[in-house]
Amino acid sequence: MPDSTAARAFQPRHLQLARALFAVIAAVMITFSPDHSASVGLSVFSGFAIASALALLLAAWLVFPQGQRALPLTLGVLSALAGMAAGIPALRSIGLFFGVVIAWALITGLFEGIAGLRALRRFPPGSVARSEARDASTVGAIGVLFGLGLLLVPTQYALRYYIDDADQSFTLTGITIGVGLLGAYAAIVGVYLAIAAFSPRRDAPAAEVQP
């Protein structure tokens, strides 16, 4: 079989769908969990990161031709390492959650965002490749913003408050906010990638494509 995207059974939209599915699952797990502790946040992140890594690494061979595999391989390896670090039960702590998730979000976000911006310059308007590059740059930017948002959360923050209707006191902590931000990030990325995957794509006419 020729090593070209056109000859492949799997296309970039299939990778987008897989990433969207894993992100939505992570968002749902966090949203419906009453426990937003570091242990739960790291468990969900670990599963999300490792599943996404497997999809990216498989896509490097099933989706992308030679010369276009660097980004999915890089993202896959970084996500696998972050997921495995977060998956060690004995090490799970508030510090590990913020350290691993922030590093992963900023590094992978920068890699994907910069790669997408560079690809935007190479492909003509209206081409499928340019649309995919725009999606990559957007997802990368969301990842960087997510990492920066986590950096602003005080890890030892604790605010006690009382709800009259529930007749009960609650405590809003930094880790609760951090895990909530992870859920919000996963929901946004999941919805965006799902919309991108299902959006109709028509490549630019051959005369418009640059050599």
pLDDT at residue 154 tops 80: yes
Q: What is the pLDDT of residue 164?
A: 60
Task: Give CA separation, 121 vs 6, 128, 134, 193, 202, in Å.
Answer: 22, 13, 10, 22, 19
Q: What is the pLDDT of residue 177?
A: 95
What is this structure's pTM?
A: 0.87
Q: Where do the structural domains in the chain lie, given as residue ranges?
A: 11-198
Model confidence at 131, pLDDT cuts 50, 70, 90, reads confident
For the record, the structure tokens of 66 come out as: 């030679």
Q: What is the pLDDT of residue 160?
A: 76
**DSSP bridge partners of 173:** 158
- Given a contact cutoff of 8 angstroms between Cβ atoms, the answer to whether 10 and 62 are in contact is yes
Reported as a single tens digit per residue, the pLDDT across 53-70 is 999 999 999 998 888 899
Model confidence at 162, pLDDT cuts 50, 70, 90, reads low
Place of tokens 């979000």: 105
Task: Report how far residue 118's alpha carbon sits from residue 209's, in angstroms, rounded to the nearest whole number.
Answer: 17
Alpha helix segments (H runs only) across the chain: 12-31, 38-62, 70-86, 94-122, 128-151, 174-198
**DSSP bridge partners of 161:** 170
Q: Half-sphere exposure of 184 toward its Cβ, with a 13 Å CA cutoff?
A: 12
Q: What is the pLDDT of residue 210?
A: 34
- Given a contact cutoff of 8 angstroms between Cβ atoms, the answer to whether 82 and 48 are in contact is no
Q: What is the pLDDT of residue 171?
A: 74
Percent of the chain scored above 90 by pLDDT? 65
